[in-house]
Chains A and B, each alone.
Chain A
Amino acid sequence: MQDLRETWVYLSASPLLHLTLTLAAFVLASFLYRRAGLNPLLNPVLLSVIAIVALLYASGTSYDTYFDGAQFVHFLLGPATVALAVPLYRQFEQVRKSALAIGVSLLCGAATSAATAVAIAWALGAQPQSIVSLAPKSVTAPVAMGIAEQLGGIPSLTAVIVILTGIVGATLGPLLLNLLGIRDWAARGFAIGAASHGIGTARALQVNELAGAFSGLAMGLNALATAILLPVAWKLLF
């Protein structure tokens, strides 16, 4: 029999181990999430991230080593974004009827997101680089990172903030919407997508197709609007 230690060294250097870890953690987290009746608080992204980070820390594995395996999953974000065209097309009739509402709510939502985040972090004394990295937090990760770079923030910190924002929106958003008494699936989906991009959209798609389509739409439009308007607003204000 081979030395177990050698086997471990070999396996931990191959992408297979961390790819399997990513999928296994998610499968387990999804099982718990479904068992709990899609309770938003048991968001599978949140649970998997906590489990994986804990395991990587315990085994002394670096993020780079982990990402060598996980990148195959990460890569699919691009094609999945393209795929959002299908639910959008299926619900196009609904979307067209609400064009004005969509435009106004999106611009106000995007402005609220950037303005309140920056104002609160500044008032509570966060460091300038953290504040800048926070500004594009509601935008889908690749765009947000580009915007943060343009404004002088830290792109990888922005990526983390974006994911956390997504998790907060997907876990607490549905509860807030219930509290506000909003039952229109289009409005629910649109708000979740505008505030918490793809993670919110993933949740919305599981719950209702109309909500999913509006959420995907809000995500795409927010990416466009913030990418164009935030750098301009930033230059005018600071």
Chain B
Amino acid sequence: MLEYLTFILACQLAGEFVVTSLDIPIPGPVVGMLLLFGFLLIRGEVPGQLARVTDALLRNLSLLFVPAGVGVMLHFKLLGTDAVPLAVALLVSTLATIAVTALLMVALRRRPATEDTREK
């Protein structure tokens, strides 16, 4: 298990290295994700020990956003003066994005080959 935790950190480190040395505006962890994905494609399966590490990390993914979220306390003042426009923009725009993306996905996605759905 420790081997794969190390491996994940190494992927992230390699990602950070690629991003900073090539000066591309993508975060290191996203490149690290692509590297791990490439490894899985070559390997052809998800090693059980790796799955144990990644499942543990992803099961508690929400927790990891809490420290950044508490940062809201730094901006109460600016959030206060622009509270209404920010709240409305955030709410409407987020829901509009979800609606547009989901409706397009449903319209364009090739349905999994459905058998004859007409029942006799």
Binding site for B on A (CB under 8 A): 22-23, 25-26, 30, 43-45, 48-49, 52-53, 56-57, 63, 66-67, 70-71, 73-74, 76-90, 92, 97-98, 100-102, 104-106, 108-110, 112-113, 116-118, 120-121, 123-127, 129-130, 134, 137-138, 140-143, 146-147, 150, 154, 156-157, 159-161, 163-169, 172-173, 176-177, 180, 182, 184, 186-188, 190-192, 194-196, 198-199, 201-203, 205, 212, 218, 220, 223-224, 227-228, 231
Known: A78-B28, A121-B86, A125-B85. A49 touches B66 (CB 8 A): yes
The listed residue (A66, A161, A218) touching B101 by CB distance below 8 A is A218
Known: A85-B40, A117-B93, A159-B71. A176 touches B82 (CB 8 A): no
Q: Which residue of A lies closest to B103 (CB)?
A: A180
Q: Is the CB of B41 within 8 A of A89?
A: yes
B75 to chain A, nearest CB (A): 5
Q: Which residue of A lies closest to B5 (CB)?
A: A79
Q: Is the CB of B100 within 8 A of A112?
A: yes
> Could you list 28 A-B pairs, sorted by A, with CB under 8 Å?
A25-B66, A52-B70, A70-B67, A73-B66, A78-B32, A80-B58, A82-B32, A82-B36, A83-B58, A92-B41, A98-B105, A108-B101, A109-B97, A109-B101, A109-B104, A113-B97, A116-B92, A141-B68, A154-B78, A165-B94, A173-B95, A180-B102, A182-B106, A191-B97, A191-B102, A195-B95, A223-B30, A228-B25
